[in-house]
Amino acid sequence: MNNQIEKRIELKAPVSRVWRALTDYREFGEWFQVKLDGPFVAGQVSRGHITYPGYEHIKWEAVVQKMEPQRLFSFTWHPYSVDPKIDYSKEIPTLVEFRLEETPTGILLVLTESGFDKIPSDRRLEAFRMNDGGWTEQMKNIANHVAQKL
């Protein structure tokens, strides 16, 4: 387990095609399954609602951060805020980044979602890197690093 999610996927399509799918609000809505009210604009709030069957009552809200053409698209949001009774706006949002890298056969899309906590240093982050069920072991490993500081 880490405090950041990272995904890499190869897309056999030109960079302009991938960029449009990510940043055109209608195209984004197609694959993300959300109906957005209007275009993405850096620095502005994007609103809409989920179109995934059974979740149509869920609102989508994100703040677009960066739109660097054909390189980087990012927004902050409250991931999978599916409980209408909870006011997620008080929580610190996570940052979602889509980075595009050209490869000989298409595009490598690197998605990261970060900020599941506010841990500042790499040392602390290491503490969250827990393998499947093996976190107790990891905790013991970091004990050596930190115990003498106690």
Partner 1 sequence: MRGVRAQVFAALGDRTRLALVAKLCGGQPCSISQLTGGSKLTRQAITKHLRVLERVGIVHSVRAGRESLFKFDPGPIDEIKGYLDFVSAQWDQALSRLKLFVED
Residue range at the interface with partner 1 (CB under 8 A); choices 23-31, 36-44, 53-61, 69-77: 23-31
Q: Burial-class residue 26 by CB neighbours within 10 Å (0-12, 13-18, 19+).
A: exposed
Q: How far is the CB of 12 from partner 1 (least distance, A)?
A: 5
> What CA–CA distance (Å, rounded) separates 38 from 45?
10
Count CB-CB contacts under 10 A for residue 18.
21
| Residue nearer to partner 1 on the CB measure, 44 or 141 | 141
Q: How far is the CB of 15 from partner 1 (least distance, A)?
A: 10
Task: Provide the token pair at 30.
Answer: 């197609």
76 neighbors 45 (Cβ within 8 angstroms): no
Size of the site for partner 1 (CB under 8 A): 50
Site string for partner 1, 77-116 (x = CB under 8 A): -xxxx----x-x-xxx----------------x-x-x--x
